[in-house]
Chains A and B, each alone.
Chain A
Amino acid sequence: MKSFLLKTSLALMIPLMLGSCSKFLERPPEGQLTEEELFKTEDDVVAFTNGIYTLVGDNAFMGGRKQLLSELLGDEYRGEFFTGDYAEIYRRANSIFGGTRDDFYRKAYDVAGRSNIVLSHLDLASTRKNEIEGTAKFFRAIAHFEVVRMFAQPWGFTNDNSHPGVPLRTELNLGSVNRSTVKEVYDQVIADLKAADDLLPEAPANAKYYSVTKWAARAYLAKVYFQQNDFTNAFKYADEVIKSNRFLLDTDLDQRYSLGGSTEGILSIEYSINFYMPGGELKGAFRSDVGLPNFRFTDQYFGIATARGADKRREWYTNTLQPGFNLLTKYNKNEFDVPLVHLTEIQLIRAESAAETGAANLATGISDINAIMTRAYGGTAFNLPSSANAALVISTTRTERELELVGEGNRVQEIKRIGARSGANIDRRGSVWNCNGMILQFPKGEQDAFPGFVMNAEGGCF
């Protein structure tokens, strides 16, 4: 009897255990999907593409990190209050370690990687295929563009731009990729943006420029060509954006960083209370009404920026909120959309490009810069005469550009672009435009994963 029961028990148990075994061991984590499970319809691809916006607006990328890394490399701030990574970058002596820089690099490539995933699922797309493909190519382009500007010497550093750029990621690959040349990177960026221009719609989703349009692609093409000192193309694309008449300069300077109040954003990352709130790092680094930020302007720059009493942009500065320190007020607010490219910048590009491309466009350039100055100075007092020559237009535009785009990560790229353009060193801190430390070092992890990875030379700027 006993042995019968025992045998029966075992006979019952073993098949049950074995039979249930494989199912018993299947425990997919709740809420996680495989690639096949996620991508089933066009809507899924659209949703995944839509997710990239929040990655672009992430603190570590365009939600603040790109801007503050650029500002650190620039020449408008006092350096003695920065410590750690910030101090290194400020001293233009960025070394192989540093999470502030690494996270920016990683996040930019995450944007490229997600874009590549989208592009690999275009077969699911039908009616919105063009929009999906255009958006993915647009984001892939700006990811590479921002990285190549920060990690490689600028366009024009060598005659043929064969100097090392950054890894090009045009398809998903978990392994390492060595650096392409700067030319190859720019070629890819332009190709992606041109494709995006062809594919993207003119009108944004939901009537607000929180999504990518043809105009965003053209605005970025203008930025890219301008960075290359290719003024003909920069002018062409800036001109097309402006002539679309879809964007208006904000009348109130406070509107550029506001909650839906700007009319000049060509592509902005939407701030949506309770959903997605970008720009935290901008506030964290610069905000001067709730504490004393470490980004404090030099007296020299503060003097330049506030020299003209009529300048409405003086509102962007304070030396009284935290007595003794010259601080920015542009981001002294809780909520604002983060514009990636706006009309002011495009108009400044057209102004300078117009002057650079000869007499035919000069009047356009003068009118562009005068529009900016009329807004800034509350009148035409400082406007250029219609007889102004190209050199004056260029120099005026460069001055106004610095003042308009303060705190937006503009200055260091201008130092490098103008250096590459003419060999001039405009850096107020005395560095040569192409010294090693004007660009960031690559994360050491790239070399540890792939010994052949070519790192940047360091320092040498002072």
Chain B
Amino acid sequence: MNRRQLPGACMFTILLLLLSCISYAQQRTIRGTVTNANDQAGIAGVTVTVKGTTVATSTGQDGSFSINVPASATTLVFTSVGYAAREQSIAGTSIVDLTLTPADASLEEVVVIGYGTQRRKDVTGAISKVTGENLNTIPAPSFEAALQGKAPGVQIIQGNGLAGSGSVVRIRGVGSVTAGGDPLYVLDGIPITSDQFIRGNSGAMNQNPLASINPADIESIEILKDAGATGIYGSRGANGVILITTKRGKTGKPKFNYSNRLGAATAALKPEFVNSTEWLQLRQEGWANDGRTGLADVPGGLTYAQAASNNTDWWKELTSTGFINEHNLSMSQGTKKLRSFVNLTYGSYEGYIKSNSFERLSARANIDYMPADNVKISLTTGYNRGNNHRVSAAWDGGIGDALSSALPIFPVYTQENNYFMNGANPVRKIQETKRREIDNRFIGGLSFEWQVIKNLYVRANGSIEYTTAFDDIFESANWINQPNKDSGYAKRNPYWGTNKNGNVTVNYLKKFGNNHSFNFLLGTEAQEYVRKKYRFEIGDFASEGYWNNVGDYRKRRDQLVRDRRNQNPPQPTEIAEGEYTFNSFFGRINYSYKERYAFQVTARMDGSSKFGQNNRHGFFPAASAAWTISEEKFMEKYEFINFLKLRASYGVVGNANIAAGRYYPNFAIGGVNYNGSPTAYLNSYGNPDLKWERLNNIDAAVEFSLFNSRLTGEVAYYHKITTSTIMEPGLSLSNGVGNVLRNLYNSKILNEGYELSLNYKVINKKDFTWSIGGNISKNYNEVLDWELGPDVVSGGTNDTRIVKGLPIGVNYLVRYHGVDPSDGLPIWLDKDGKQTKTFSLDHRVYAGSVMPDYMGGFNTALQYKGFELSSLFTFVVGGNIYDNSGKYQFLGTSKKNWNFRRDFLDRWTEPGDIAKYPRLTYDAALYPGVPSEDQFNSTMFLHDASYLRMRELTIGYRVPQNMLRKWKLNMVRVYVTGSNLLTFTKYSGGDPEITRDFENPQDRNLSPNITYLTAPTQRTVVFGLNVGF
């Protein structure tokens, strides 16, 4: 047997053994009705479970139920969202009528935790839950963007305006430098691929793997934030864990749901630029300011007159209103033995950039089969096809050019009706190059749950994520300068990845008397990921892209494969990359005393192939506790307190978010001969000591529910220290072997913060409800210990620094004081704050940070009979934006030759002028001391990042029940939703939410809020219809 198949084989053996143990027992039937304690109305959809088993049913519309229970059953458990759960003895009776009391839904709801579930009120860790319903309120480019403002301590910076773009997600700050700061995403138990750099850094804005997850499949998202919650994920828990749970069948007759969304997408905010005449005037102004005479030099090989006769609005040429078109059909049913959920989705989401869209095709079938009272077999399958019609952006041209070097004086076409080629022409690029990135992702899981004896459960799960991805590029004959019209070039770079995960857990519940209950969990897990690709590019001359001619692609691929196999000796055709494994053992003990004091201890031993030979295994313990004070006798007198809980946790978790194989030396036999002889190389030196980043994480919180549960909320505090920071840059440039991924043991990074969330039901009547809620969090970040100089992490797309005593990602800049009215030259402040007119990089000081001071969201929802109005605002207070494009846009009319942004028109023009910006110049180096336009970094381009955004606004109507009955429908809802409709910001450069063209995870950690030709986010308006039948 192949060694790599062993863990999978183990799992399979176990599953077979489990299957063989299924047994059957005698049964009896219990009937009854469940009603609301307040108004005695029947409650539909109450889950009725035989305690200690998986046998369950749910009540019908009138609250009635009927359930076959094993002869040994003694108790039924009634649970329903919005009601306090109840247990009822069935000893000696076959009729059970009972009432449920409306309760604070948030306390009774079931929360998904690592390898299990818990009642919200029993949870000892920091977990935020966002339901699928709450997530799907807007057509976000990718599901994670829709989390914004909905969970405290979770920073989501929406992706830019490109369709399918990914967001930056940070849970309680960021403590990593080179290692990824993104959370671990676990979908139905399998840690899924979320790495945006699978294809390296390709074409500025990389493919976002999360975009192919269908938001309509999602039942809930749990965000695990502290070690109490993430400790069970060990070496991968440091950045938080996002658990995605897909929908499953619910007990009852088949119910169908059809929904659609049709709408439009435009840009939320866009920067404004000067036109051609203005551009030339400004050029001339700078030219004259420098003491030059005559007409200014004009770029692009144009004469002054030709330039003046053009006036191209490149933004307009490249954008149009995008069309959103989404359809979704789902079915849910459940019988005693079989529950299923099926969902089909088609969606096409055009962005506002021409040719740019994301297309989704998705199918899901989740089936639960209960062959016996003590056995449940669950199948979870989902197929998603995400087809990203990519366009160039940022430095790669396209819309990036429209914001930079495609000047209004340039024409799209020459007089001979050819493309203008003597300067940037993004219209040519968008028309003559096409790109499709297609991700086909199948995620399937099979799990067996077996109640071996009373209170002893064994669960075995096997999951696979299989991805085939194609990056198709077509460059037309025009683009590659081929005379024959059909001689364009088509190429495809595929990869195919397999992510296998298996775990077995044993769960034992034990009660001692009435007061002591234990829950023991012991588990083992193995994960194996591998991705393969061809060693060569598959491409050929063609008249269109391979996505239209798959046959041609296959022919070319097979030919190239054959050629290599026929060589002597035969050459390999494929190569594995990114291969890694995890092998883990974990355990959790929960102890509860009088349902008042809860303690939890978790521990995980992780081994991973990602770590160096000398540090293969890590141990990660965590402990947490909760005290439900409101259950104490002495609290009875405080009637307004319905629920009050204190909780705290401490634990050690790790960050293993690094590319696979980085510890391994990379000496390689060269692929290229030199002078007819073979070559060999050193690509990187390797580090056998490489290990995870270590995070010590403390959390403390108060959860409460007051005034008949109308006011609920939570206040939390956390304190996280990252050590052993994983770092790549910072070795001497002359060492001759480059940088090495290593742990900085003398580094310490702090994230400390507070979170507050509140929800208040202002009006809570039968036909009229109004609620308001919101959350706010503050994160304080400081690099406590740091052994390297401030500019180690710099260059490339990183315009931020790491300096001891300051937050990660500080803006380390020369301070701009203003303009000297007498000559229009900039006045700077030196290190000591003294004014100077000579710029120097030695004047740089800490001037700002990309980390916000506060962030959060607030929402309100109003329902009157069938009408509903809801809105979500998100906000950021403090932090800075560094406008790195602005730096060049201000110098647009200098020899940099970029577009000139209108807000820079507030510049000095003559002696005595009081202006915001200095006099224009043809050459930035004429500002004394400025080395070049690249090193013109100063607070002139640093802005307050605060903003308030109307993230969502929905107006809807639900057709009343009496009409529905007539139409024989369960539910009809129509609505209109807008996203990003209003934005309030002081930032003049466009959209204040910035995810730039990150080159690597380090950029994602350090350079959000640094612009570089970032396309503004989308604003969408959609009409939706939702029909249940």
> Interface size for chain A: under 10, 10 to 19, 20 to 34, or 35 or more residues?
35 or more
Cα distance, A111 to B608, chains bound together (Å): 34
Check if B681 sits within 8 Å of A105, measured CB to CB.
no
A-B pairs, top 4 by smallest CB distance, nearest first, are: A113-B736, A448-B789, A29-B661, A51-B679
Known contacts being A31-B668, A97-B794, is A17 close to B10, with CB within 8 Å?
yes
Mark interface residues in B521-559 (1 if CB within 8 Å of A CB, else 0). 000101010000000000000000000000000000000
Q: Which of B15-23, B272-280, B345-353, B850-858 is the interface stretch?
A: B15-23
Cα distance, A84 to B894, chains bound together (Å): 12
Mark interface residues in A103-122 (1 if CB within 8 Å of B CB, else 0). 00110011111101100000
Check if A46 sits within 8 Å of B607, measured CB to CB.
no
Cβ 8 A contact of B934, one of A50, A84, A91, A93: A84
Cα distance, A206 to B676, chains bound together (Å): 8
Contacts of B789 on A, CB cut-off 8 Å? 444, 447-449, 451
Cα distance, A47 to B670, chains bound together (Å): 8
Mark interface residues in B573-602 (1 if CB within 8 Å of A CB, else 0). 001110111010000000000000000000
Mark interface residues in B901-915 (1 if CB within 8 Å of A CB, else 0). 000000000000000
Check if A32 sits within 8 Å of B665, measured CB to CB.
yes
Cα distance, A182 to B733, chains bound together (Å): 19
**Residue B866 interfacial (CB < 8 Å):** no
Contacts from B to A (Cβ < 8 Å)? 3-4, 6-7, 9-10, 13-14, 17-18, 20-21, 23, 297, 301, 422, 452-453, 458, 504, 506, 524, 526, 528, 575-577, 579-581, 583, 607-609, 616, 660-661, 664-670, 672-683, 685-686, 729-738, 740, 788-792, 794-796, 841, 895-896, 922-923, 925, 931-935
Check if A448 sits within 8 Å of B674, measured CB to CB.
no
Known: A2-B452, A99-B795. 12 other contacts (CB 8 A): A16-B9, A16-B10, A21-B583, A22-B616, A23-B6, A30-B576, A32-B668, A113-B737, A169-B735, A322-B301, A447-B789, A449-B789
Mark interface residues in A72-106 (1 if CB within 8 Å of B CB, else 0). 00000000110111011001011111110010011
Closest chain B CB from A58 CB (angstroms): 12
**Residue A6 interfacial (CB < 8 Å):** yes
**Residue A422 interfacial (CB < 8 Å):** no
Contacts of B931 on A, CB cut-off 8 Å? 88, 91, 93-95
Contacts of A109 on B, CB cut-off 8 Å? 733-736
Closest chain B CB from A119 CB (angstroms): 12
Closest chain A CB from B727 CB (angstroms): 11
Contacts of B792 on A, CB cut-off 8 Å? 445, 448-449
Cα distance, A95 to B814, chains bound together (Å): 15
Could you name 14 residue pairs across A and B whose Cβ atoms are closer than 8 Å? A9-B17, A13-B524, A16-B6, A20-B6, A24-B7, A28-B661, A38-B667, A51-B670, A53-B675, A81-B895, A97-B935, A112-B736, A205-B675, A449-B792
Check if A5 sits within 8 Å of B21, measured CB to CB.
yes
Cα distance, A169 to B733, chains bound together (Å): 11
Cβ 8 A contact of B660, one of A1, A27, A105, A116: A27
Cα distance, A224 to B788, chains bound together (Å): 36
**Residue A126 interfacial (CB < 8 Å):** no
Known contacts being A175-B735, A446-B732, is A17 close to B7, with CB within 8 Å?
yes
Check if B10 sits within 8 Å of A13, measured CB to CB.
yes
Cα distance, A436 to B390, chains bound together (Å): 48
Contacts of B6 on A, CB cut-off 8 Å? 16-17, 19-20, 23-24
**Residue A314 interfacial (CB < 8 Å):** no
Cα distance, A149 to B554, chains bound together (Å): 53
Check if A9 sits within 8 Å of B934, measured CB to CB.
no
Check if B791 sits within 8 Å of A448, measured CB to CB.
yes
Contacts of A99 on B, CB cut-off 8 Å? 795-796
**Residue A382 interfacial (CB < 8 Å):** no
Known contacts being A37-B667, A47-B679, is A177 close to B453, with CB within 8 Å?
no
Check if B660 sits within 8 Å of A35, measured CB to CB.
no
Known contacts being A35-B665, A276-B673, A445-B733, is A29 close to B579, with CB within 8 Å?
yes
Cα distance, A30 to B3, chains bound together (Å): 17
Find the B residue at minimum CB distance from A54. Answer: B674
Check if B10 sits within 8 Å of A12, measured CB to CB.
yes
Check if B667 sits within 8 Å of A105, measured CB to CB.
no
Contacts of A64 on B, CB cut-off 8 Å? none
Check if A17 sits within 8 Å of B583, measured CB to CB.
yes
Closest chain B CB from A147 CB (angstroms): 8
Check if B735 sits within 8 Å of A113, measured CB to CB.
yes
Check if A96 sits within 8 Å of B734, measured CB to CB.
no
Contacts from A to B (Cβ < 8 Å)? 1-3, 5-6, 8-10, 12-14, 16-17, 19-35, 37-39, 43-44, 46-48, 50-51, 53-54, 80-81, 83-85, 87-88, 91, 93-99, 102, 105-106, 109-114, 116-117, 166-167, 169, 172-177, 205-206, 208, 210-211, 270, 272, 275-276, 292, 322, 443-451
Cβ 8 A contact of B666, one of A29, A85, A175: A29
Cα distance, A167 to B732, chains bound together (Å): 10
Find the A residue at minimum CB distance from B937. Answer: A97
Closest chain B CB from A95 CB (angstroms): 4
Check if A84 sits within 8 Å of B932, measured CB to CB.
yes
Cβ 8 A contact of A27, one of B581, B685, B740: B581
Find the B residue at minimum CB distance from A168. Answer: B734
Cα distance, A10 to B11, chains bound together (Å): 11
Check if A117 sits within 8 Å of B666, measured CB to CB.
no
Q: Quick one: which of A25, A110, A166, A208 has the most chain B CB within 10 A?
A: A25
Check if B733 sits within 8 Å of A50, measured CB to CB.
no
Contacts of A91 on B, CB cut-off 8 Å? 925, 931-932
Closest chain B CB from A398 CB (angstroms): 31
Contacts of B577 on A, CB cut-off 8 Å? 29-30
Cα distance, A166 to B23, chains bound together (Å): 79
Closest chain A CB from B797 CB (angstroms): 11
Find the B residue at minimum CB distance from A97. Answer: B935
Contacts of A443 on B, CB cut-off 8 Å? 733
Closest chain A CB from B198 CB (angstroms): 15
Cα distance, A292 to B735, chains bound together (Å): 37
Check if A13 sits within 8 Å of B452, measured CB to CB.
no
Find the A residue at minimum CB distance from B18. Answer: A9
Contacts of A177 on B, CB cut-off 8 Å? 732, 734
Known contacts being A9-B18, A17-B526, is A51 close to B674, with CB within 8 Å?
yes
Contacts of A322 on B, CB cut-off 8 Å? 301
